[in-house]
């Protein structure tokens, strides 16, 4: 089946032809880990998870890289505010991030590189840019010189003045041109930093993604994804850095961007009370009213990824009701994955048309309920379609009883994950959540014991 994707580079939906039919390579910008992810951060994670599942279905091998930005000024500021070590803050945030997105039903990427493990690769790339005259150093900074690249701006299609204003770049005396952006900057003695040829300092954000994508996927790869808000300046600058460091290559062939997210009809903001972290949504309410990640996921997939999405709690409620119907239709019949229904693959091959795929799922569910011939086939299609969408991952018994996915799969194997969640809650000084997890385990006959080294062991009450 032919896959068509909308490429932001040429603003067209065209047939996807990978550089290597045997091996598709994808890079997606991951989170900056200074705080819990909110629903806006969750959208690209879910969208590109569906893309990953589809590519795995269509091609023999897919490498999916999604980075973690664990060095950034926002992280430095947050750690200082909390009086916490940067490493402790980022570790804790990464753990919560993994927990949140697992609940949203996402597969692990093949590689999840952290920026701080790749400083050397960034320094190497900055050096290449300096040698070739695309960058210059000034007052312990290294800057990319935008006028040195003729077609700068071809992804965002902005004109120059617009770009300077849009990037909100600092007008610093050491800049040759106001549009020049930072590749490396100095760190104060009390700030985290690494030794470099330009003094002790740290990388700019854009160079992180250029260095990590090149390292794991090569200078030319197939798809680069992220939210629409990253087109400028982040992705524009990634293109500039990567193409100039490797003049014989063209970097990512396909640029995919998901649309903006609003919340309850407005721009999401803490002061409007419509700012939802995934953690809050998963933990809110009574156990029987609690949302599972699948409801949030289905809510988001009901809008096409390039359209703006209005995230609403009532939308999540509706998605939950829909999932109830699907689980009821499926019952306890289980099938091997991989027998995908053509209708749903076709819908996804049309630039990831998830709303159409969801409508087909509804129709399948309807034909199961009517109970005519072919019920088993409809159930099989329902299961296969769901696995492409990353839904119906629970056993239906567990779904209706409020159990977890791992309980469905392993019969009680989620204790470790609850312990990890509790540790995160304690690190966040969220003692209510920590206590309620302890209590819920106790209700299941599991006792926790906290060790002086910070680990927790558990045993069952016999
Ligand atoms: Zn990036």
Give residue-wise pLDDT tens across range 136-192. Answer: 999 999 999 999 998 899 999 987 777 766 666 667 889 999 899 999 999 999 899
Residue 26 is predicted with a pLDDT of 98
Cα 5 to ligand 1 centroid, rounded to whole Å: 20
Cα 352 to ligand 1 centroid, rounded to whole Å: 22
- CA-derived radius of gyration, the chain: 24
Cα 7 to ligand 1 centroid, rounded to whole Å: 17
Cα 92 to ligand 1 centroid, rounded to whole Å: 21
Give residue-wise pLDDT tens across range 250-286. Answer: 999 999 999 999 999 999 998 998 999 998 888 754 4
CA–CA separation, 361 vs 341, rounded Å? 10
CA–CA separation, 249 vs 192, rounded Å? 33
Cα 364 to ligand 1 centroid, rounded to whole Å: 39
Domains of the chain: 22-258 (3.40.50.620), 285-410 (no CATH), 415-460 (no CATH)
- CA torsion, ordered 282, 284, 287, 291, to nearest 10 deg: -40
Cα 284 to ligand 1 centroid, rounded to whole Å: 31
Structure tokens at 90: 């980022």
Cα 362 to ligand 1 centroid, rounded to whole Å: 36
Cα 199 to ligand 1 centroid, rounded to whole Å: 25
Structure tokens at 295: 């409801």
Cα 164 to ligand 1 centroid, rounded to whole Å: 19
**Count of C-beta atoms within a 10 Å radius of residue 119:** 20
Residue 336 is predicted with a pLDDT of 61
Structure tokens at 192: 């985290």
CA–CA separation, 142 vs 175, rounded Å? 10
Cα 227 to ligand 1 centroid, rounded to whole Å: 10
The residue ranges of the chain whose pLDDT is under 50 are 285-288, 338, 409-412
CA–CA separation, 398 vs 382, rounded Å? 18
Structure tokens at 457: 């062991």
Please list all protein residues whose beta carbon sits less than 5 angstroms from ligand 1, which is an ion.
Answer: 29, 209
Cα 151 to ligand 1 centroid, rounded to whole Å: 20
CA–CA separation, 46 vs 92, rounded Å? 22
Structure tokens at 440: 């819920």
Cα 30 to ligand 1 centroid, rounded to whole Å: 7
Cα 225 to ligand 1 centroid, rounded to whole Å: 9
Cα 446 to ligand 1 centroid, rounded to whole Å: 42
- Antiparallel, parallel or unpaired: β 12-15 and 24-28: unpaired
CA–CA separation, 223 vs 349, rounded Å? 15
Cα 72 to ligand 1 centroid, rounded to whole Å: 12
Residue 119 is predicted with a pLDDT of 98
Cα 447 to ligand 1 centroid, rounded to whole Å: 43
Cα 255 to ligand 1 centroid, rounded to whole Å: 12
CA–CA separation, 359 vs 64, rounded Å? 28
Residue 403 is predicted with a pLDDT of 64
Cα 21 to ligand 1 centroid, rounded to whole Å: 25
Cα 294 to ligand 1 centroid, rounded to whole Å: 26
Cα 162 to ligand 1 centroid, rounded to whole Å: 21
Residue 412 is predicted with a pLDDT of 45
Cα 60 to ligand 1 centroid, rounded to whole Å: 26
Residue 410 is predicted with a pLDDT of 43
Cα 116 to ligand 1 centroid, rounded to whole Å: 14
What's the per-residue H, E or C state across the chain?
Answer: CCCEEEECCCCEEEECCCCCCCCEEEEECCCECCCCCEHHHHHHHHHHHHHHHHHHHHCCCEEEEECEECCCHHHHHHHHHHCCCHHHHHHHHHHHHHHHHHHCCCCCCCECCEHHHHHHHHHHHHHHHHHCCCEEEECCEEEECHHHCCCCCCCCCCCHHHHHHHHCCCCCCCCCCCCCEEEEEECCCCCCCECCCCCCEEECHHHHHHHHHHHHHCCEEEEEEEEHHHHHHHHHHHHHHHHHHCCCCCEEEEEEEECCEEECCECCCHHHCCCCEHHHHHHCCCCCCCCCHHHHHHHHHCCCCCCCEEECHHHHHHHHHHHHHHHHHHCCCCCCCCCCCHHHHHHHHECCCHHHHHHHHHHHHHHHHHCCCCHHHHHHHHHHHHHHHCCCCCCHHHHHHCCCHHHHHHCCCCHHHHHHHHHHHHHCCCHHHHHHHHHHHHHCCEEEEECCCCCEEEEECC
Give residue-wise pLDDT tens across range 89-105. Answer: 999 999 999 999 999 99
Length, in residues, of the chain:
462
Cα 419 to ligand 1 centroid, rounded to whole Å: 32
* 129, 144 contact by CB (below 8 A): yes
- Antiparallel, parallel or unpaired: β 220-227 and 251-258: parallel
Cα 14 to ligand 1 centroid, rounded to whole Å: 24
- Cis geometry, peptide bond prior to residue 233 (ω within 30 degrees of 0): yes
């Amino acid at each position: 089946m032919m896959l068509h994707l909308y490429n932001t580079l040429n603003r067209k939906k065209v047939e996807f032809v990978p550089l290597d039919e045997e091996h598709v390579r994808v890079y997606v910008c991951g989170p900056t880990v200074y705080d819990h992810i909110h629903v806006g951060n969750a959208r690209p994670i879910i969208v590109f998870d569906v893309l990953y599942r589809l590519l795995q279905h269509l091609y023999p091998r897919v490498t999916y890289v999604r980075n973690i930005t664990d060095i950034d000024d926002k992280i430095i500021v947050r750690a200082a505010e909390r009086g916490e070590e940067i490493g402790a803050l980022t570790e804790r945030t990464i753990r919560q991030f993994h927990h949140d997105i697992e609940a949203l039903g996402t597969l692990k990427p093949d590689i999840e590189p952290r920026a701080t493990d790749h400083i050397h690769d960034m320094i190497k790339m900055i050096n290449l840019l300096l040698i070739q005259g695309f960058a210059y150093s000034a007052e312990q900074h290294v800057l990319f010189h935008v006028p040195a690249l003729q077609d700068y701006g071809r992804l965002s299609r902005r004109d120059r003045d617009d770009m300077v204003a849009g990037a909100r770049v600092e007008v610093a005396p050491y800049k040759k041109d106001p549009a020049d952006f930072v590749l490396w900057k100095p760190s104060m003695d009390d700030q985290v930093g690494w030794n470099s040829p330009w003094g002790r300092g740290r990388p700019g954000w854009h160079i992180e993604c250029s260095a990590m994508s090149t390292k794991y996927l090569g200078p030319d790869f197939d798809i680069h994804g992220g939210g629409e808000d990253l087109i400028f300046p982040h992705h524009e600058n990634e293109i500039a850095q990567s193409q100039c460091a490797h003049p014989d290559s063209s970097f990512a062939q396909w640029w995919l961007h998901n649309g903006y997210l609003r919340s309850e009809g407005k721009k999401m903001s803490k002061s409007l009370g419509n700012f939802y972290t995934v953690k809050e949504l998963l933990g809110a309410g009574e156990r029987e009213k609690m949302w599972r990640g699948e409801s949030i996921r289905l809510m988001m997939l009901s809008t096409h990824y390039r359209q703006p999405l209005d995230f609403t709690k009532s939308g999540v409620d509706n998605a939950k009701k829909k999932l109830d119907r699907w689980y009821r239709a499926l019952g306890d019949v289980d099938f091997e994955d991989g027998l995908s229904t053509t209708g749903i693959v076709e819908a996804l091959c049309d630039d990831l048309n998830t709303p159409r795929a969801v409508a087909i799922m509804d129709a399948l569910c309807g034909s199961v309920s009517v109970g005519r011939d072919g019920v088993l086939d409809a159930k099989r299609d329902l299961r296969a379609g769901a696995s492409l969408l990353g839904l119906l991952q629970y056993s239906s018994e567990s779904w209706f009883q409020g159990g977890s996915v791992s309980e469905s799969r392993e019969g009680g194997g989620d204790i470790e994950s609850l312990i990890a969640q509790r540790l995160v809650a304690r690190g966040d000084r969220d003692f209510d959540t920590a206590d309620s997890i302890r209590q819920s385990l106790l209700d299941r006959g599991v006792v926790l014991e906290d060790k002086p080294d910070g680990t927790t062991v558990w045993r069952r009450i016999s």
